[in-house]
Amino acid sequence: MQRACESGIPVVIIDSALGEGGEGAFQAFLSTDNCAAGEQVAKRMIDEAGTTGKVGIMSYVAGVGSEIGRVGCFTTYLQENSDLEIVGPLYSQSQMANALNQTTDMLASNPDLIGIFGANEPTAVGMGRAIEQAGKAGQLTALGFDGNEDLQQFVRDGVLTATAVQGSFAMGEMGVQTVMDILAGETVEPFINTGVVMVDKANIESDEARNVLY
């Protein structure tokens, strides 16, 4: 990348941020704004579950950059905009089986839980399976993150109210467009948010959802 940059070749980074050694070697970075995504999920939680009661957080790896933004901003938004009591977060280490067991325990310990958030794909899958096994599908607002086949089926079956899916298609399309803009001599933003789509039963067959589901 340094050599490309020194040679005048535009460099655009997609999805994963670089370490400090990469500073100055690229013109733009396109990714999900995880803080904005966490806030978007929190807004949906309030819309669906209301402003009082208990909401559980099933997270993945403490201290990871995406987790700090996604779960941190979800939490902050709930605290500032509702009287919801937060249970957790619990950390699955991005292992589906851990998330299943942890969610099972959380549901058993908090039978009055009105909402729960699974903050990445394996965590949300484990969470969904635990909700199914506990017979609580449709009884609480369950929001996931990412959109593989398991999560899509949970949405269709009503196990998940919705799942926030990162714009992988947008990352690629906007990444190419950003390179074209640089080549055309236009100024581009150093960080471009590729956004998330809240996929639920009502829009899962739409073009917008199909562009992000996988």
pLDDT in tens, 129-181: 999 999 999 999 999 999 899 999 999 999 999 999 998 888 899 999 999 99
Smallest CA-to-CA distance from 152 within 192, 206, 106, 101 is with 206
Using pLDDT thresholds of 50, 70 and 90, give the confidence band for residue 5: confident
Instruction: Quote the tokens at residue 124.
Output: 């949300």
CA–CA distance, 206 with 150 (Å, rounded to integer): 18
Q: Is the link from the previous residue into 122 a cis peptide, with omega within 30 of 0?
A: no
Task: Provide, rounded to the nearest whole percent, the portion of the chain with pLDDT above 90.
Answer: 80
Task: Provide, rounded to the nearest whole percent, the portion of the chain with pLDDT above 70.
Answer: 100
Mean pLDDT calculated for residue range 113-137: 97
Using pLDDT thresholds of 50, 70 and 90, give the confidence band for residue 185: very high
pTM, full prediction: 0.88
What number of other Cβ atoms are within 10 A of residue 60's Cβ? 26
Q: Is 21 exposed, middle or buried (0-12, 13-18, 19+ CB in 10 A)?
A: exposed
- With a CB cutoff of 8 Å and minimum separation 6, the contacts of 108 are 134
